[in-house]
């Protein structure tokens, strides 16, 4: 089989498990951020896919409002991708085959979250050191008939880097794609990505390997592709801070400003969710967008004091329209 990453360029289409991704620039799952409106925006700006926030595989058995919001989607979202967290293969299989995930095309398995309470539960990064269990989870999800991807880190620390063996296990177990965050678990979200270990993963398997970690510009994206030979890249917090980066990377011509994007997000969120959720989400998104604006301290105070959507509209206009951003 020909190396899937040979000659790959940023922004090109890619096939994963029989599904065509419109570009090889993806948006990572971000807890508290990658809700339905954001995923729609990322897709419109050029993302090949955007994953839901992390969903507990066990929580899917409960018909609660919190999980329903995480899984909200409709026909406007062309490629529907969900990320599941857990540690029990049978629970993953039940979730993957459940009616609540029927609309989703891709199941991503979280094997990289470094947060202490997740790791202590044997989930996320903990699975890097339990390959037999990780393999059974992948096989369980594949029995749903859906495309399955895995998001992982390179190891727990510099002394316990396992990515080559782990990547091969993912492929043998039936995973259609791997996304490698080029940091160890103990690095959390700091430090330069360790490109050489993403490359080792890429060289170990024939399924597509995406690279993740510290991609905040076209230059960083190009460097990541050059250093790793990856089939594509996945943006995380920088995709949320500046979604226009998707259009820059994919060459999609758009005329949006951060203000117009916020107004669009406000409209879509208001269609789908209650006012409390809308206020919380738009405030978080606006806070990221205003990071480099002058006078942000006072802006944020005004933003977080507002208590209605009408008031929020006025504050956003004052902040962003005046700055021309």
Rounded-to-integer distance, Cα 62 and Cα 95, Å: 11
Q: If you average pLDDT over every residue of the chain, what do you get?
A: 93
- Percent residues over pLDDT 70 in the chain: 96
What integer pLDDT is reported at residue 8 of this predicted model? 78
| Angle of helix 309-316 versus helix 275-289 axis, rounded to 10 | 10
Rounded-to-integer distance, Cα 256 and Cα 83, Å: 29
CA distances from 260 to 50, 129, 167, 266, 267 (A): 20, 45, 41, 10, 11
Rounded-to-integer distance, Cα 194 and Cα 188, Å: 13
C-alpha triplet 215, 220, 221: angle, nearest 5°: 75
Per the residue annotation, which of 35, 81, 113, 152 is the catalytic one? 113
Domains annotated for the chain, with CATH where assigned, are 14-250 (3.20.20.70), 258-323 (no CATH)
254 has pLDDT over 80: yes
Q: At 291, is the pLDDT very low, low, confident or very high (cuts 50, 70, 90)?
A: confident
Rounded-to-integer distance, Cα 117 and Cα 262, Å: 33
Q: Please state which of the ranges 83-92, 105-114, 303-312 shows the lowest mean pLDDT.
A: 303-312
1 has pLDDT over 60: no
Residues in the chain, overall count? 325
Mean local confidence (pLDDT), 124-140 = 98
What integer pLDDT is reported at residue 7 of this predicted model? 55
Rounded-to-integer distance, Cα 321 and Cα 260, Å: 9
Facing residues of 179 across strands?
A: 151, 210
Facing residues of 26 across strands?
A: 49, 234
Mean local confidence (pLDDT), 23-28 = 98
What integer pLDDT is reported at residue 155 of this predicted model? 97
Helices (H), the chain: 36-45, 65-70, 89-96, 116-120, 131-142, 163-173, 195-204, 218-228, 237-241, 244-250, 258-272, 275-289, 296-305, 309-316, 322-323
Asked whether the beta carbons of 185 and 156 are under 8 A apart, the reply is yes
Mean local confidence (pLDDT), 188-200 = 95
Rounded-to-integer distance, Cα 199 and Cα 225, Å: 9
Q: Provide the sign of the torsion angle of the four alpha carbons 81, 82, 84, 90, taken in this order.
A: negative
| Angle of helix 195-204 versus helix 163-173 axis, rounded to 10 | 30
For residue 35, indicate whether it is catalytic.
no
């Amino acid at each position: 089989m020909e190396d899937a990453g040979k000659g790959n360029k940023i922004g090109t289409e890619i096939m994963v498990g029989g599904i065509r991704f419109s570009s090889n620039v993806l948006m990572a799952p971000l807890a508290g951020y990658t809700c339905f409106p954001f995923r729609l925006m990322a897709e419109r700006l050029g993302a090949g896919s955007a994953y839901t926030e992390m969903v507990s595989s066990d929580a899917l058995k409960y018909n609660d409002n919190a999980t329903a919001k995480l899984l909200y989607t409709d026909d406007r979202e062309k490629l529907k991708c969900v990320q599941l967290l857990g540690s029990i293969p049978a629970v993953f299989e039940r979730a993957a085959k459940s009616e609540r995930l029927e609309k989703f095309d891709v199941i991503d398995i979280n094997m990289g979250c470094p947060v202490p309470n997740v790791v202590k539960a044997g989930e996320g990064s903990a699975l890097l050191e339990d390959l037999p269990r990780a393999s059974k989870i992948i096989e369980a999800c594949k029995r749903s008939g859906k495309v399955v991807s895995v998001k992982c880190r390179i190891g727990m620390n510099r002394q316990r880097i396992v990515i080559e063996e782990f990547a091969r296990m993912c492929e043998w177990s039936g995973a259609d794609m791997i996304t490698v965050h080029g940091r160890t678990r103990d690095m959390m979200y700091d430090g330069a990505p360790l490109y050489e270990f993403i490359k080792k993963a890429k060289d170990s398997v024939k399924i597509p390997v995406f690279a993740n970690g510290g991609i905040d510009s076209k230059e960083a994206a190009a460097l990541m592709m050059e250093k790793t030979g990856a089939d594509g890249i996945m943006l995380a917090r920088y995709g949320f801070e500046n979604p226009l980066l998707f259009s820059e990377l994919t060459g999609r011509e758009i005329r949006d400003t951060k203000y117009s994007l916020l107004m669009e997000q406000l409209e879509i969120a208001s269609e789908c969710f209650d006012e409390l959720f809308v206020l919380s989400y738009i405030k978080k998104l606006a806070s990221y967008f205003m990071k480099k604006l002058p006078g942000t301290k006072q802006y944020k105070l005004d933003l977080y004091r507002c208590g209605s959507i009408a008031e929020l509209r006025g504050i956003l206009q004052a902040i962003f329209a005046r700055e021309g951003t």
